[in-house]
Homo-oligomer: A and B are copies of this chain.
Amino acid sequence: MSTIRDVAKLAGVSVATVSRVINQKGYISKDTEKKIKACMAKLQYSPSSVARGLAGKKTDTIALLIPDITNPFFPEIARAVEDTASSYGITTLLGNCDENGVKELRYLDILKKRYVDGIIFAEHGLTWNEIHGILGSGMPIVSLDRAALSEEVSSVRVNHYQGAVLAVEHLLSIGCRRIAHISGPNHLITSANRNRGYTDTLRNAGCFDPDLVYEGDFSMECGMRVTEQLLKENEGVDGIFTSNDLMAVGALKTLIRSGVKVPEDVALIGFDGISMTQMVEPEISTIAQPIYEIGKQAVFQLIHQIEDRHELPEMTPRVLETKLIQRATTTRF
């Protein structure tokens, strides 16, 4: 690998001059610029982002930390983030934290020191101390989950509560009255908000029953297991709202295997809007998050923190809304 010095030597100029043409900064004569560019090409030179990072420059690289790469929701987020970042010449590095605090910290340790220009968290298990540590280090961050939890850390906000309301109202509208809920981990704010939306709506309708709420962990296996338990422990459940799509897929499976007719006996609706809901039969109704928009806004917010000049399309950090997508599992004739 050739360095900036090799180029300088070959071109018969100083490294400073080469650096200038690389960064399009300061004055350089057309002649030397052309000569230098030729030399760079000949040596197949490309600047080291590491050295560049050390020298305090931007690396044009951001990191996206996700909790579980095998949950398709996050790969879809990743694509959105990557797409957007890519269109600004920014490369995205992914870190899979595996719901594991230790790994999360390990990533941070690596990234904090100018490895990347900024970090996007899709759901994190950090303490406030740790977050302040990062913020203090000057590393721009954006969070995808702490909706409205604090003004201190930039985040893209999705109205999970309203999404859950949509889901439950939909189930009510097609005639369901005993509607169960398989929630996500209660310590996650997103999950908790969906839970509230469910509870409130059902209370208003006068058919809330705490026995019908089960805490899940967002995995498909859990969706299967809990649904089994749910069917065993309760009579007359005629609708299920799962806090994410993966659990809905699991639930659907158990329902079919148990000989329960979907949606005739039990209607089913998930949350997220991942494409897997369309891969199964019957296709699963869901509350779709604006996945692409989420990724896009996250990148916008991050870039804004990194530098204010970037001429970005008007930042609209409004709260993003979810959308009901009705499919076979909630369509009764």
Contact = CB atoms under 8 A, between A and B. Distances in A.
B114 A220 contact: no
A261 interface: no
Scoring A48, A103, A107, A257 by chain B CB atoms within 10 A of each residue's CB, the highest score goes to: A48
A75 B82 contact: no
A165 to B, nearest CB: 28
B96 A94 contact: yes
Contact of A70 (B44, B76, B86): B76
A133 interface: yes
Given A49-B113, A94-B95, A220-B275, 4 more contacts: A51-B113, A93-B94, A252-B281, A253-B279
A16 interface: no
Scoring A48, A49, A69, A107 by chain B CB atoms within 10 A of each residue's CB, the highest score goes to: A69
A46 interface: yes
A105 to B, nearest CB: 10
A317 B178 CA distance: 57
B78 A69 contact: yes
A101 to B, nearest CB: 13
A207 interface: no
A307 interface: no
A209 interface: no
Nearest to A44: B133
Given A72-B70, A280-B280, A82 B110 contact: no
Contacts of A220: 275, 279
Interface in A31-66: 44, 46, 48-51, 53-54, 59, 61
9 contacts: A46-B109, A49-B109, A70-B75, A91-B107, A249-B279, A250-B279, A256-B281, A257-B281, A281-B281
Contact of A281 (B75, B82, B137, B253): B253
Nearest to A97: B82
A98 interface: yes
Contacts of A149: none
Contact of A50 (B44, B54, B98, B275): B54
Nearest to A280: B280
A223 to B, nearest CB: 10
A112 interface: yes
B1 A112 contact: yes
B61 A70 contact: no
Nearest to A252: B281
Contact of A94 (B48, B51, B94): B94
Contact of A75 (B59, B69, B257): B69
A241 interface: no
Contact of A54 (B54, B93, B103, B280): B54
A7 to B, nearest CB: 14
A160 B273 CA distance: 34
